[in-house]
Amino acid sequence: MPATIEGSIKNSFSLPLSEIKKIIKDFHSEMCRGISGKKSSLKMISTYVNKPTGKERGKFLALDLGGTNFRILEIELKGDGKILPGKEKKFVLAKHHISGEGRKLFDFISGCIKKFCSEQGIKTYEQRKIGFTFSFPVRQTGIAKGVLLHWTKDFSASGVVGQDVVRLMNEALIRNGLRNIKIAALVNDTVGTLAAAAYQDQDCDVGVIIGTGTNACYQGKVKRMIINIEWGGFNKLRRTYYDELLDKSSNNSGQQMLEKMVSGMYLGEIARLAIQDLIKKQRIFKGQRNGFNLAKSFKSEHLSEVETDNSVNLSGINIILKKMGLKSSTLQERKTIKVICHAVSERGARISAAVLAAVITKIDPALCRRHTVAVDGSVYAKHPGFANHMKSALREIFGKRTGRLNLVLAKDGSGIGGAIIASLAASGNNQ
């Protein structure tokens, strides 16, 4: 197997420091344009929410909708930064919920809330406030008002884009006989992640999600309001041939360009397209039938499994290849697969570090003070090496000043944060 194949792949997906610095500059420009209302790939959405003080108290409900699985939970805030985990239940949305009529989607969700309250003994005749963590691009005009700009993550329910999702949810609650339960706050998952961490650490001023999708928010200076960046839409990035192929075949071509290079929904598909290209050129697996020609057949989970195989003969990768329909593979071919997977995920991590650095230097240009960055999401938390690659790139960018950055895994931040922001809405501690 010619070494030039591996070298070519590494070069294609490489992201040197010089390119990272250009990304930071372009990201700053797009942030400024978005904030000033000019056309930008970053929406820079005002959330009408401040950081919590850590003194908030009480029991609050949260609805966390960000993908095909959603959760309902009750959280008790004890003050002094203390959170008491409460009752929680997960529900699964079927294909007809996410791609059918929007009214039926919200009716199903409200029915799940009713079931949760019944099972947990929550009295529905009493006034209850819910924080609604809704992890899709929304143009907010108040803490409990927001119009869906467009669906992401394969959602396409009709009659929702251009509508106030809080109104749609409250109407569904009424239809299900839950008149006393009301959405008090609309929360993006990144905002929830920031709020959950800030309740316990007042240095936290940035929230990041790197999972099925990706996004970030930060505590703005104007009116001390959290700004939802919607950074998945950032489009000032160098794209490879494989990125172009993926975008053209997606259901939102031309949109969410950063997300398509970073998030768990797409990493496996980028690697599959690169592998398929080498097969077509007969550089690997010559003459063998395989499943790499099937879209989305190689998942991000496969990417993780490939990268964690450190056996002498890469036997774990061999098992994956057999599942993909290949009868045999050489050790060199398996090494090539590992190189591709590593290159794709490392690039995703370095892009994430670049845009995070841009956010931090927007807040604090010289990185003079301490910043806690709350990060949640399956890719950051579980993908082998992803977090370390991000931190390594941040060290390249900031040098010794990197010690002023504290990246913390805010597990379950979006759900807990939704409850915290519901408490802010109930107390009037918002914009």
Residue 196: what are its φ and ψ, rounded to 5°? -65, -40
pLDDT at position 2 over 50: no
pLDDT on residue 163: 96
In this structure, the strands spanning 57-65 and 128-134 are parallel
Of the candidates 43, 51, 153, 362, the residue annotated as catalytic is 153
β 69-79/57-65 pair status: antiparallel
pLDDT attached to residue 3: 54
Which of the four pLDDT bands, split at 50, 70 and 90, describes residue 1? very low
Q: What is the pLDDT of residue 428?
A: 63
> pLDDT tens across 33-60, in order?
999 999 999 999 888 888 999 998 888 8
Q: Are 252 and 263 in contact (CB under 8 A)?
A: no
| Mean pLDDT, residues 77-95 taken together | 88
pLDDT of 375 strictly over 80: yes
From the candidates 26, 189, 247, 309, give the one annotated as an active-site residue.
189
Q: What is the mean pLDDT of residues 414-429?
A: 81
286 counts as catalytic:
no
Query: Rounded to an integer, what is the distance from CA 368 to the centroid of its chain?
Result: 28
> Residue 197 and residue 208: Cα distance in Å, rounded?
11
Q: What is the 3-state secondary structure (H, E, C) of 230-280?
A: CHHHCCCCCCCHHHHHHHHHCCCCCCCCCHHHHCCCCHHHHHHHHHHHHHH
Please give the full DSSP string across 125-163, using - where no structure is assigned.
Answer: TS-EEEEEEE-S-EEEEETTEEEE----TT---BT-TTS
Phi, psi of 73 (to 5 degrees): -145, 155
Q: Which residue has the tokens 């990125």?
A: 243
The candidate with the shortest Cα–Cα distance to 130, out of 83, 64, 197, 49, is 64
What is the structure's pLDDT at 49? 87
Inter-residue contact 92 to 65 (CB < 8 Å):
no
What is the model's pLDDT at position 426?
Answer: 77
Q: CA 278, 387, 244, 19: dihedral to nearest 10 degrees? A: -100
CA dihedral 160, 164, 165, 171 (to 10 degrees): -100
- State whether residue 110 is helix, strand or coil: helix
Q: What is the pLDDT of residue 411?
A: 79
Return the biggest CA–CA distance within the chain: 71
The answer on pLDDT for 252 being more than 70 is yes
Q: How would residue 19 be classed by pLDDT, with cut points 50, 70 and 90?
A: very high
Q: How confident is the model at residue 429 (pLDDT cuts 50, 70, 90)?
A: low
pLDDT at 430 over 60: no
CATH topology of domain 48-187: Nucleotidyltransferase; domain 5 (3.30.420)
Q: What is the pTM of this model?
A: 0.89
In the chain, what percentage of residues exceed pLDDT 70?
98
What average pLDDT does range 134-157 have in this prediction?
Answer: 89
Task: Dump pLDDT digits (tens) for 276-335.
Answer: 999 999 999 998 999 999 999 999 999 999 999 999 999 999 999 999 999 999 999 999
CATH of domain 1-46+201-411: 3.40.367.20
Encoded tokens for 393: 């790139």
In this prediction, residue 75 has a pLDDT band, given cuts at 50, 70 and 90, of: confident
pLDDT of 329-371, one tens digit each? 999 999 999 999 999 999 999 999 999 999 999 999 999 999 9
Lowest mean pLDDT among 3-17, 229-243, 245-259, 281-295: 3-17
Active site residue 189: yes
Task: Please say if the pLDDT value at position 401 is more than 80.
Answer: yes
Q: Summarize pLDDT for 103-119 with one digit per residue, the tens.
A: 999 999 999 999 999 99
In the chain, what are the domain boundaries? 1-46+201-411, 48-187
